[in-house]
Amino acid sequence: GGGGGGGAAAAAASATTADTAAAVSESELSSTWHKPDTPREEQPFRFGGGVLSSPVPLGIGTWSWGDERTWGYGRDNFGPEQCMHAFNAALDANVTYFDTAQVYADGLSESLLGKFIKMSPHAERRAALGRAPVLVATKFMPWFTHFTTAAARQHLLASLKRLGVDKVHVYQVHGLMPSVLSAETWAAAFAALVREGVIGAVGVCNFTFDQTRRTHAALAKHGVPLASNQVEYSLLRRSPEFSGLIDDCRRLDVAVLAYSPLGMGRLTGKYSVAHPPPTGRVYGNADMAAVDRVVHALRKFGARHGNRTPAQVALNWLLCKGVMPIVGCKSAAHVRENVGCLGWRLTADEVAHLDAVSLDAQAQPSVIQSLFQG
């Protein structure tokens, strides 16, 4: 995440946030009466250049599908059946955007998603009813031996085979790790894949604004818009907002997608100082005492809106910021809870209060974050 415009603006925004946080009193947060929400029809989420749109502003992240090390796939009643139930529950809720990557479980995530698309009666019913198709986004990681544009196409073809499809809707550079190739070179290669018809749109992940701007301009020379920039963004990491990256992307007409929108589970209320999350969950890694204070505010505002859960309020905060959360779901129950962020909105005052109690956990990023995030 991060962008141009950098340190001074971020420091000023952080100071302002800290000052405002001190002014948020317990009495202000404790008021639970609220006018009932008027049901709100969600508008499709538009990607840059209008190349595609998601029926609702919510996507499903599939990092956990097949991942044993971080997400415990294969243990504690979490396996392919639970992933398939999550997939079907998402389609039932008209959530059709699924985000995967070649590196997720060494390709198993893509394989599972492809299997579910092929097997799902929901997918067949949707086609028969003329409903929105399943939208598939995957990513190419320019690892150490992949510093060639030929590798991007080679790995795309392998992804298409695992997914069992002829084309993906969005193909994303997973992160511009130190590379001998410029953004312009990558843009030319990805534009060629659009012309070939094997990808519908080009996206990036973890790009700074300078990288985003250069890629956007280079793609434009080929008549291809930059559809999206996916960054870590949540109430526990607001760096993309403080740096100006989100506003800058908006000015370029590049959609912003937010990964780890719940801080790898920290904003769900499941974890606390007494019950911290499992080790290895590096995104949104903040002091749990501070996280508990954020979750406390989420509960208070959830009570005002028909007993919404902390996760639903945290995701709704992102909707109010104009971005689309990409939320991981290990079960149908997770999906059903998370789609409860749709159909209503926090008030401007509530968004401001959450801004005030939010954190920016990446003051000391891990090694992996330093590699991926600008």
How far apart CA 346 and CA 325 sit, in angstroms, is 16
DSSP H stretches of helix in the chain: 6-23, 26-30, 80-92, 108-119, 121-129, 149-163, 183-196, 209-220, 239-242, 245-252, 288-304, 310-320, 332-338, 348-357, 367-372
User: Contact at 8 Å (CB) between 283 and 206?
Assistant: no
Amino acid occupying residue 154: Q
User: Contact at 8 Å (CB) between 162 and 107?
Assistant: yes
The yes-or-no answer on residue 104 being catalytic is: yes
Query: Any residues with CB less than 8 A from the CB of 89 and at least 6 apart, and which?
Result: 329, 332, 335, 336
Residue 22 burial class via C-beta count within 10 angstroms: exposed 0-12, middle 13-18, buried 19 and up:
exposed
Q: Which of 73, 97, 104, 283 is catalytic?
A: 104
Q: Which residues are catalytic?
A: 104
